[in-house]
């Protein structure tokens, strides 16, 4: 019974990993659709979002069946519950990637407003956070999870910098205000993905140490914003 339980749990984690890889691909394609002005990649992100949604439904159903069938111990129940929560966060990352892709579809048809240097820096940090968060969970890597928390501050700073740069550009080129608004929102979408990756890291810390660091992180963000 225990061996069968472990095998099924491994399958559940395997599905989570596959979903995570799809989400990473969606984020990468949404970024490329913007930076490379590649609307075909944007359309691909939108069309393939359903695959991510299907994984969320399958994992959710399997997780609840798992709980009902095996009546897991407290520690295993906490792990399964965490998988379900992480699945939800991954699905929300996919939604943010779709939001970026949809904005790219509009922006790509308009003249360029700003260079994408800071956007690229933000994207690199965000992708690193997402990959590290997924790997931290799969490997139960507490050290990697903790490093993600600091990376979130870097993304916040770049997001603020991008917003200021765009507002200055809009003043110079008011006819491109709609492009500027779309880019500010796209930047916020990347920042939101970083927040969701931070959620995953917090889950790993809680799973390994039983410490809920969410309140501390929110306090730090509030202090930064005040």
Predicted TM-score (pTM) of this structure: 0.91
Looking at the chain, how many residues does it have? 226
What CATH number does the domain containing 177 carry?
Answer: 1.20.58.220
* 126/152 Cα distance (integer angstroms): 8
Q: Is 112 helix (H, G, I), strand (E, B) or coil?
A: coil
The domain containing residue 177 runs over which residues?
A: 2-225
Domain count, the chain: 1
Question: CA triplet 10, 14, 16: central angle to 5 degrees?
Answer: 120
- Provide the residue-wise pLDDT of the chain in tens; the chain has 226 residues: 567 778 888 889 999 999 999 999 999 999 999 999 999 999 999 999 999 999 999 999 999 998 898 888 888 898 999 999 999 999 999 999 999 999 999 999 999 999 999 999 999 999 999 999 999 999 999 999 999 988 889 999 999 999 999 999 999 999 999 999 999 999 999 999 999 999 999 999 988 887 666 655 555 555 555 4
Dist CA 11 CA 202 (whole Å): 23
With tokens 């956007």, the residue in question is: 119
In angstroms, the CA 149 to CA 198 distance is 6
């Amino acid at each position: 019974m225990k061996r069968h339980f472990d095998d099924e749990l491994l399958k559940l984690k395997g599905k989570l990993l596959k979903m995570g890889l799809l989400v990473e691909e969606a984020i990468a394609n949404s970024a490329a659709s913007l930076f490379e002005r590649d609307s075909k990649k944007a359309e691909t992100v939108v069309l393939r979002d359903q695959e991510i949604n299907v994984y969320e439904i399958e994992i959710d159903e399997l997780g609840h069946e798992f709980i009902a069938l095996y009546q897991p111990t407290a520690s295993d129940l906490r792990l399964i519950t965490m998988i379900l929560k992480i699945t939800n966060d991954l699905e929300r990352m996919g939604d943010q990637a779709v939001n970026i892709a949809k904005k790219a579809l509009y922006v790509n048809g308009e003249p360029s407003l700003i260079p994408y240097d800071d956007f690229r820096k933000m994207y690199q940090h965000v992708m690193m956070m997402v990959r590290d968060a997924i790997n931290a969970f799969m490997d139960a890597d507490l050290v990697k999870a903790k490093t993600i928390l600091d990376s979130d501050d870097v993304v916040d700073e770049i997001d603020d910098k991008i917003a200021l740069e765009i507002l200055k550009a809009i003043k110079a080129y008011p006819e491109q205000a709609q492009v500027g608004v779309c880019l500010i929102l796209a930047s916020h979408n990347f920042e939101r993905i970083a927040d969701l990756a931070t959620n995953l890291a917090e889950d790993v810390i809680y799973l390994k140490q039983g410490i809920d660091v969410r309140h501390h992180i929110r306090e730090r963000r509030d202090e930064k914003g005040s």
